[in-house]
Structure 1
Amino acid sequence: MKYVIVRYEDYGSYGAYNHCADAYLDVLPTLADQLPPGARAFATDPDHYDFHGKRCVKDLKPVETRTEGDQLVLELRHNCWKHDADLVLRYTGVTEYTVDPPGELPSEVRLDELLPHEQGVRHEFVCVGGSIVVVAADVTAAWTPTDCTG
């Protein structure tokens, strides 16, 4: 990622992720007008980087990607201790989709970053155990309520 920092630190007997979206949030007001409408709305949502908020992407788990017509759909599952909804991202005009390492989706999202791209938007996720990158014309985000009582 260009601005968002996600770094795993090994402290000997344990490890932890250090996260910082401050540099991204500082430049986002100047980048927002260059993002397609759906990407702009998602990136600039005030809860997107609120680590304690129910609509923060941190700690969501990528569970499925599929195509529906001309869209790439990425589903991210909630954690009941933090979220009350799942996130469904729908990308149109996809020109790149990369999962690293290849073969299966990585675990929980640490953070993401949406940047303007000549094709529209470049959306990168750093996750536990890997990353996801999608370059597309645009992306729309929808939160689907879920029941965390069981």
Structure 2
Amino acid sequence: MSIDSVIAKSWGELTTTELYSIMKLRTDVFFVEQKVDETELDDRDQEAATRHYWIADNHGVAAYVRVLHNETAEYLDGHCVIGRVVVREDRRGEGLAQIIMKRIVDDYSDQAMMLHAQQYIVPLYTKFGFEAFGDLYEEATIMHQSMYRPAQ
């Protein structure tokens, strides 16, 4: 599987079937599996600058990532924010998140990016040039690390 298998769309381009599959995956993992009690539907998905990236299979969306654009940089010049990185349980360990991250890094190479990584997955992002900054912090009962990647 290559970055060519990654689908990227804006909110207005999503079909109802794609949207349902994305939201099902996100709620299955974040709410049911990880017991996150924070708001999942934060209205950021619908913003014009938000891009949705995913890999699909016969069962729907297997892996998903969204990229937001913040008007104000949260850290240095990092206006692009990667988030909602999720892989369906039956497809974990296949490198799907890495494939999507490669596509995103290629698409946004000219822009600084940041993300808030769950602590255990920090090594994935360091492979793509992200560097940790600040202290570890708890978000939704899960330890996180802020990370930044400068424009290339």
Provide the TM-score with structure 1 as the length reference.
0.30
Provide the TM-score with structure 2 as the length reference.
0.30
Greater helix percent: which structure? 2
Greater strand percent: which structure? 1
